[in-house]
Amino acid sequence: MLLAIDVGNTNTKFAIHDGVDWRGQWRASTDSSRTADEYAPWLSQIMALANLGFADVSACIISTVVPQALFNLRNLSRRYVGAEPLVVGEPNVKLGIEVRIDKPNEAGADRLVNAVGAFIQYGGPAIVIDSGTATTFDIVGRDGAFEGGIILPGINLSLQALHDAAARLPRVEIRDPGCVIGKDTVTAMQSGIYWGSIDMIEGLCRRIRSEYGAPMITIATGGVASIFEGAFPSIDHFDQDLTSRGLLEIFKRNGGVL
């Protein structure tokens, strides 16, 4: 089985694939100081809930946007899986796609993995919207190439900044307040973040399609995306397995067999 690890700025996702299906997917808060020996007991216990153990896993692939977390996760794979992990972004790991931007080495591993996952499932051209610490819009070409995109602050980061900078504004839940015009501070903030996010994403999708000049499939993924499911006319698919699927495909493109 394959252990696929996707390290984001806020959360780290661990997923197990048996060659046919995903057997389990779990999230933990990203902590670059957490050692392999600290990860292992937590992961072994949560894997046991799915009747899995480290003995069932024979390979590992890692994608990370937090470089300082890599050392400990590489050791996790070496010590507890017994395998040298593939690491997205290292020279020996083939993505199987062209990176068509001015500075290819600046493309985040997560964005490239999402491009691979989107293309094999939905084809191209496509827009991939990933809602996490940052909200990213990534453009996947007709042939699967990564062609650039947009990066802006994530929804939770925007809410946190609002709370931190304004003494009287509370922390609020991200949800549809059932109105646009808020009648109190909480609903006003919820309306702003909920409807503001929707209109921002809808507007940027329109601009991207206009500039690209061709019909595009739009896929949303990431920890916050599910809150907005059904609210976006322009989004064709909500897919929480997109990154894991991309990691699995990259594993196969590098000779991995399960």
As annotated, the active-site residues are 110
Q: Which residue has the tokens 């590489």?
A: 74
Query: In degrees to the nearest 10, what's the CA dihedral of 41, 45, 51, 53?
Result: 0
Length of the chain: 258
Which residue type does 61 have?
I
Extract the runs of DSSP E, i.e. beta strands, from the chain: 2-7, 11-17, 22-29, 59-64, 86-87, 126-131, 134-140, 146-153, 217-221, 237-238
Tokens of residue 213, six digits:
């000049």
Q: Residue 86 in contact with residue 256, Cβ under 8 Å?
A: yes
| Distance from C-alpha of 132 to C-alpha of 67, rounded to nearest angstrom | 17
Phi, psi of 150 (to 5 degrees): -135, 140
**Mutual orientation of helices 155-165 and 185-212 as an angle, nearest 10°?**
140
Exposed/middle/buried for residue 183 (C-beta within 10 Å: 0-12, 13-18, 19+): exposed
